[in-house]
């Protein structure tokens, strides 16, 4: 097959998760005002403090302007009054167990490859599934409870552990942080909550699956993860959405708090609907993710594989506050067709002897635009801070773009900061070598791409790594440069 045929093949490829599930849902009218905020809070039976916080966030949001000037992405202005801010699968009655979950819903998750019941028995991954904006099922809850681990939907945590929410909500990403974080703080409907008690090593991977189903809705989930001193947790999230012609907004906030010597590993495989080959439809993925290494020796690692979304705009960051704390960021971002990604990280070194590593791999194909934007900031007190950054870009096709914007801001002379970046295409010689060893052109490209991303993929938990490799293969099928 010639490379043009391959490219055609790629553009004809269907988004495999693009079905719509017909489920009755309970929706708020479109538009955003204080009443909607109150309505969301009321629907969820929230305590007073949370409603107050939402309202403060909403009022602050009104004073902010959408950042249109600095991200290297372009999109038509979003009409925030035409979005539905709350959409939930209609509750038939209070759910007691998985068996009572709408079978239609369960079939959806099965189609997505997350058979909740199966998974409970077969694998060792506890899943919290978020459908549109509401968390529908959490598996393995009891087993985790025995160890004192709290894992479940955010609304549940608000009901059962309001003290933890009150203490930590907004402590890493305050509602004043940015436009989309403020919006999320005002209207977030659900999300996941996780608490690991001191010294506990979470015995299984915790996982959340996000799905946008209803039309015209925005998904605004909020994840809060707290790891007490000496604990460890590995957390995964995955996302899909149906194919729709309109763009849908996804503005999530993720907050991680790692206390002394705690280690949080947060992995994302993001595969929201990217839009069709002409850039029609797709998800706007405007996400704020940040972790705080609050104690001595705490460690947060972000791993992300971003293959979906029409626009990805997120910077999972680490505030390295505790001495000897470690921040890591491993990312693969793929943009094909007309996808745009402006992603990277921010490492803020505050404590002494803090270390950070950034490995970013960008792959652009078709007319995709891929931007790495990262900041490494070393404050005055951060003696002995160490950073290593590596950003590599792979270009496939002559109409795509790869951009690198590292910001290095160093205010301590004992810091050592290194940044390296390279941009190249798949070498003819590399392809030739693989071809003469009997591999097809497609297999050769897939092999080279996987090799290019190896340093990131190996950071993913095994099950996810397999999925991520498949996704990469799918996204880039045929994009021979």
The residues binding other proteins (CB under 8 A) are 69-70, 380, 393, 395-425, 481
Answer whether 366's CB lies under 8 Å from 402's CB.
no
Q: Hey, which residues does 328 pair with through a beta bridge?
A: 301, 357
Q: Which CB atom, from 98 or from 375, has the smaller least distance to other proteins? A: 375
User: What minimum distance in Å lies between the beta carbon of 276 and other proteins?
Assistant: 23
User: What minimum distance in Å lies between the beta carbon of 352 and other proteins?
Assistant: 13
- CA–CA separation, 256 vs 258, rounded Å? 6
Q: Which CB atom, from 124 or from 424, has the smaller least distance to other proteins? A: 424
Q: Which CB atom, from 408 or from 448, has the smaller least distance to other proteins? A: 408
Q: Which CB atom, from 235 or from 372, has the smaller least distance to other proteins? A: 372
- Name the residue among 409, 419, 440, 400 with its Cα closest to residue 358: 419
User: What minimum distance in Å lies between the beta carbon of 389 and other proteins?
Assistant: 8
Calculate helix-pair angle for 34-43, 179-187, nearest 10 degrees.
50
Q: Which CB atom, from 57 or from 396, has the smaller least distance to other proteins? A: 396
User: What minimum distance in Å lies between the beta carbon of 423 and other proteins?
Assistant: 4
- Name the residue among 414, 404, 403, 347 with its Cα closest to residue 381: 414
Full 3-state SS string of 234-273:
EEEEEEECCCCCCEEEECCEEEEEECCCCEEEEEEEECCC
User: What minimum distance in Å lies between the beta carbon of 183 and other proteins?
Assistant: 23
Answer whether 303's CB lies under 8 Å from 366's CB.
no
Q: Which CB atom, from 167 or from 424, has the smaller least distance to other proteins? A: 424
Q: Which CB atom, from 136 or from 382, has the smaller least distance to other proteins? A: 382
Give burial (CB, 10 Å; 0-12/13-18/19+) of 428. exposed
Q: Which CB atom, from 215 or from 410, has the smaller least distance to other proteins? A: 410
Q: How far is the CA of 152 from the CAs of 155, 208, 226, 390, in angstroms? A: 9, 9, 13, 36
User: What minimum distance in Å lies between the beta carbon of 379 and other proteins?
Assistant: 11
DSSP 366-417: TT-EEEEEEEEEE-TT-TT-EEEEEEEEEEESTT-EEEEEEEEEE--TT-EE
User: What minimum distance in Å lies between the beta carbon of 335 and other proteins?
Assistant: 13
- CA–CA separation, 214 vs 227, rounded Å? 33
- CA–CA separation, 364 vs 366, rounded Å? 7
Q: How many CB atoms lie within 10 A of CB 440?
A: 11
User: What minimum distance in Å lies between the beta carbon of 424 and other proteins?
Assistant: 6
């Amino acid at each position: 097959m010639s490379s043009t045929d391959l490219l055609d093949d790629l553009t004809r490829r269907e988004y495999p998760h693009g079905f719509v599930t017909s489920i009755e849902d309970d929706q708020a009218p479109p538009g955003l005002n204080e009443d909607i905020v109150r309505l969301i809070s009321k629907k969820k039976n929230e305590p007073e403090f949370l409603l107050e916080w939402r309202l403060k966030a909403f009022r602050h949001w009104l004073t902010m302007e959408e950042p249109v000037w600095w991200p290297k992405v372009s999109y038509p202005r979003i009409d925030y009054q035409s979005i539905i801010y709350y959409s939930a699968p209609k509750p038939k009655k209070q759910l007691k167990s998985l068996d009572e979950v709408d079978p239609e819903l369960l079939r959806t998750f099965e189609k997505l490859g997350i058979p909740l019941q199966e998974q409970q028995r077969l694998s060792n991954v506890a899943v919290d599934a978020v459908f549109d904006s509401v968390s529908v099922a959490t598996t393995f809850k009891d087993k985790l409870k025995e160890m004192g681990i709290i894992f479940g939907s955010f609304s549940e945590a608000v009901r059962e552990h309001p003290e933890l929410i009150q203490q930590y909500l907004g402590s890493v990403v305050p509602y004043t942080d940015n436009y989309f974080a403020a919006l999320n703080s005002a209207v977030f409907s659900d999300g996941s909550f996780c608490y690991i008690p001191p010294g506990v090593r979470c015995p299984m991977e915790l996982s959340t699956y996000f799905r946008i189903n209803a039309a015209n809705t925005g998904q605004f989930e909020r994840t809060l993860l707290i790891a007490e001193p000496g604990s460890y947790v590995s957390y995964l999230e995955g996302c899909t959405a149906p194919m729709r012609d309109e763009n849908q907004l996804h503005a999530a906030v993720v907050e991680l708090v790692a206390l002394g010597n705690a280690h949080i590993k947060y992995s994302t495989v993001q595969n929201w609907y990217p839009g069709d080959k002409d850039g029609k439809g797709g998800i706007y993925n405007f996400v704020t993710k940040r972790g705080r290494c609050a104690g001595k020796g705490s460690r947060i690692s972000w791993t992300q594989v971003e293959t979906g979304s029409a626009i990805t705009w997120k910077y999972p960051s680490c505030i390295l506050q505790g001495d000897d704390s470690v921040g890591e960021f491993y990312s693969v971002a793929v943009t094909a067709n007309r996808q745009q990604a402006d992603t990277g990280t921010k490492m803020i070194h505050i404590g002494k002897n803090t270390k950070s590593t950034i490995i970013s791999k960008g792959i652009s194909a078709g007319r995709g635009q891929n931007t790495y934007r990262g900041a490494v900031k070393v404050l005055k007190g951060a003696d002995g801070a160490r950073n290593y950054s590596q950003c590599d870009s792979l270009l496939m096709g002559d109409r795509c773009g790869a951009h690198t914007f590292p910001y290095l801001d160093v205010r301590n002379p004992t810091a050592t900061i290194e940044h390296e970046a390279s941009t190249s295409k798949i070498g003819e010689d590399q392809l030739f070598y693989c071809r003469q060893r009997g591999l097809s052109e497609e297999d050769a490209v897939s092999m080279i791409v996987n090799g290019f991303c190896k340093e990131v993929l190996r950071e993913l938990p095994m099950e996810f790594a397999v999925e991520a490799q498949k996704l990469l293969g799918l996204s880039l099928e045929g994009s021979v440069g």
